[in-house]
Structure 1
Amino acid sequence: MCGHVAHPCCWFTHRISSNRAGDSDSCKIYKNLSHGAAYIRHNEFIIYIRKKMLPSQLNVGGYALDNQFTIVDILFSTKRILRKSSGVTMDVVILIKQVPEIALIKVDETANEVVLPQGPGTVNPFDEFAVEEGLRLKEKHGGKCIVMSVGTDRTESALRNCLALGVDEAYLLSDEAFNGSDPQATGKILTAGLKKLATYDLVLAGKQAIDSDSAQVPGAVAAGLDIPQAMFVKKIESVADSKAVVYRTTEDGFDVVELNLPAVISVVKEINEPRLPSLKGKMAAKKKQITKWSASDLGLDGNEIGANSGTKTTKVAPPPPRPKGEIIEGDTPEEVADKLFSKLRDNQVI
C-alpha cells in the first residue's frame, strides 16, 4: 500500500525530520491528496501534511517541520487521530442491531425457546437515534459515518436502511460461531470489529435493544476497548480538542460529563428526531458494498462467544397475563373519588 517517495512527491519528504532517537529519515507516501497535501508514512507514524506558511518551525510529537508546511494530523500505529482544535473532523461508528417485530414474537414453552417471526426485521428503534446523531456530527464536523452490526445475511437490510440515510460505510460481523451470543459476547465481537476498523473518534449506540432490553452492549464495548463511556446521553453539547461534553440522564435529572476521545456513548430518544431516507438515498444504498468480517477475520476463536457465552437460558416463558382491572362505580364523581381514595389507602399506595 505504501511505496517509496518518488517524483513528483519528493518535495514532501525532505521537509520532515525526526528528533526521536533511533528514527531513520526515510519516508514513504501513504496517500497523495490534491491541493499540496499528502499522507506520509514515517516508521510507525502516518502524518498528514499540507502546504501552508507558518511563523516558525513546528515541532509535534518529536517531529519537526519547517515553516512551509504544517502537520495537520499525526496518526499513530493504533490509527487513532490526534487533531488540532481548528477544523476538527469526526469519524463516528454507530453500533446497530436488527430486531424482530416485537408483536410477532412467540414463545414455545414446550421447546423452551423464543420463536422469532420470519422476515428481515427492522433497525432497533433506539439505534435510529444514534444513527441520526452520528449523521449530525458528520454534517457539522466532517469525517465519516460508519455502521457496524453483529448478525446474519438478513441483517444487510438494516444496514442498507442506514446507508440510505447518508451513512458512508457498513460492516457486518457474521459467522455461525456468533449465533446465540449473549450481550457480553456481542460486546466482545463488536470490540474485535472496532479494533480491526481501528480508525474512529466516537462510538455511538442506542441505550438498549427492544428485544433483550439488557443495555449491556455499549458498556461492554467500552470496557473491551478500554476507553471512556457515557450511557443514556440526551445531548452532545460539544466536540472539540479531542474531548466531548455530553448530558447524561439520571433519575434526578442529568449530569454534564466531559469525555476524552475516543469514547463510547449510548443515547436516549430525547437526543434528536431521526430523519427519513430519500428516494435517492435508497437507490444509492442498494449499490453500496457491505463489508463482511467472520470470526477468523476478527481473530476470534469461539471462546466466550456464541454457544460458549457466559450466560445460559434455563427457561423461557411468556409474561404473566395482566390481572383483571376493577371498575369503581358511584352515583356522583365525588363518591367515586372517595372510593378510589379509600382503596388506594387500604392498599398502601398512598
Structure 2
Amino acid sequence: MSLKIVVCIKQVPVSNNLKIDPITKNLIRSGEPGVMNPYDKNAIEAALRLKDEWGGEVILLSMGPPDFEMTLRQGLAMGCDDAVLLSSRKFGGADTLATGYVLSQAVKKLKNVDLVLFGRQSVDADTSQVGPIVSEFLDWPQITFVSELHGHDKQVMTATRLLENMQQKIEFQLPAVVTVRSELNEPRYPNPRNIQKSYQKNIRVWDENNLAVDAERIGLKGSPTVVRSVWAPEKEVKATTFLEGTPDEAIRELLIQMRASNLL
C-alpha cells in the first residue's frame, strides 16, 4: 500500500501593519512578509507520518502570489516530496468558495489522490471553510477537527474528532478530505539536509490555463462574499496608577481597587 497525499497550506501575514485594497476590501498579500499557517504544519506532520508508515508521496498545494514559494519550501524542508503553487492575477480576491473551487480542480489535475489534508483553519481568516468546500467540489467525505488519525489500509482510515463538548470516532473510506487540530501531533523541525534539498526541488506554478476551471468561478467573479467595509479598532489609552508604600501596602491597595471594579 502507498498513499498519495495532498496537503493544502497557506501563508499568513506576520505583520500588524496590513494593507487593505480600497476597492475590493481584500487583504493585499503581495509584498507582505508571511509564515506558514501554524495549523498547516500539523497537517504536514500527519501526512509525513502516514507516508512513513504506509509509503507513498506528499504533495504540497497552495494558492497565492509568487512569494508564497518560500512557505512551500518550508514544507519541502520538513520532508514533503513535491509542491504546486496556484498563482495568477485571475485568482486574486477569491473568497473561500472560489479558493476551494480552484484547489479542488488542482487536486483533480494531480490525479489518483487518496487523501487531502488541511489545518483546521487559518489564523488570519479563521473560517474553517476551505477544507469542507474542497470536499464538496470533489464529492469526497469530509472529516473535520481531527485530533487522532490512523490508516488501516488503502481504503479505510479512522479518526477522532475533538469537538467542543464531545469526542467522535469515525471510520471512513478513501479518498477523503481531513482537517486537523494542533492536538494531533507535534510538527517536526526541518533538518539541515532537508533544508538544502528543499532548494533543489522545483516548485510547479499553475495558473487558470493549467486547470479545467470556469472563468466565472474564480477570483472576484467567483466570490459571492462581499466585504462592505473594513476598519481598524480605535486604540484606547488607559491611565496607569502606581501603587506606593511597602509591597504589603501596595497589595492591599490593589485588592481594594480590584474589588471596587468588581474584578474580585
TM-score (norm 1): 0.66
Residues 287-306 of structure 1: matches in 2 within 5 Å?
287-306=200-219
Q: 2:166 aligns with which of 228, 253, 257?
A: 253
Quote the offset at 1:118 in angstroms: 3.1
SS at match of 1:140: helix
Residue 293 to residue 253, structure 1, CA distance change in 2 (3 Å): same
Partner of 1:318: 232
After the TM superposition, which of the residue ranges 174-183 and 237-246 deviates more from structure 2?
237-246
Partner amino acid, structure 2, of 1:343: N
Residue 266 in 1 paired to residue 185 in 2?
no
Larger relative contact order (CA 8 Å, sep ≥ 6) = 2
Alignment of 1:1-350 (within 5 A): 88-106=1-19, 114=27, 116=29, 118-240=31-153, 242-308=155-221, 309-321=223-235, 336=255, 340=259, 343=262
Take 1:323 and 1:229, find their aligned partners in 2: how far apart are those partners? Answer: 46
Residues 109 and 191 of structure 1: CA distance in aligned 2, closer, same or farther (over 3 Å)? closer
Question: Would the alpha carbon gap of residues 105 and 243 (structure 1) be closer, same or farther in structure 2, given more than 3 Å must change?
Answer: same
* Gap runs ≥5 in structure 2: none
Q: Is the 8 A contact 1:164 1:278 kept in 2?
A: yes
Q: Which has the larger radius of gyration?
A: 1
Once the two structures are TM-superposed, the CA of residue 209 in structure 1 deviates from its matched residue by 1.1
> SS state of the match for residue 287, structure 1?
coil
How high is the sequence identity, in percent, across the aligned residues? Answer: 35
Q: Which runs of 5+ in 1 are unaligned?
A: 1-87, 346-350
Superposition deviation, residue 343 in structure 1: 2.8
**1:101, 1:117 within 8 Å by CA — same for their partners in 2?**
no
Encode CA deviations 1:90-114: one digit per residue, 9 max, x unaligned.
Answer: 2111000112214342568899564
Q: Aligned pairs, how many?
A: 257
Structure 2 CA distance for partners of 1:148 and 1:108, relative to 1, 3 Å? closer
Q: How far off its partner does 1:339 sit?
A: 6.5
SS in structure 1 of the partner of residue 16 of structure 2: helix
Aligned with 2:102: secondary structure?
Answer: helix
Distance 1:112 1:191 in 2: 25
Residues 323 and 119 of structure 1: CA distance in aligned 2, closer, same or farther (over 3 Å): closer
Alpha-carbon RMSD: 2.9
Residue 167 of structure 1 aligns to a residue whose secondary structure is coil
Preserved CA contact (<8 Å) 1:230 1:266? yes
| Higher strand content, 1 or 2 | 1
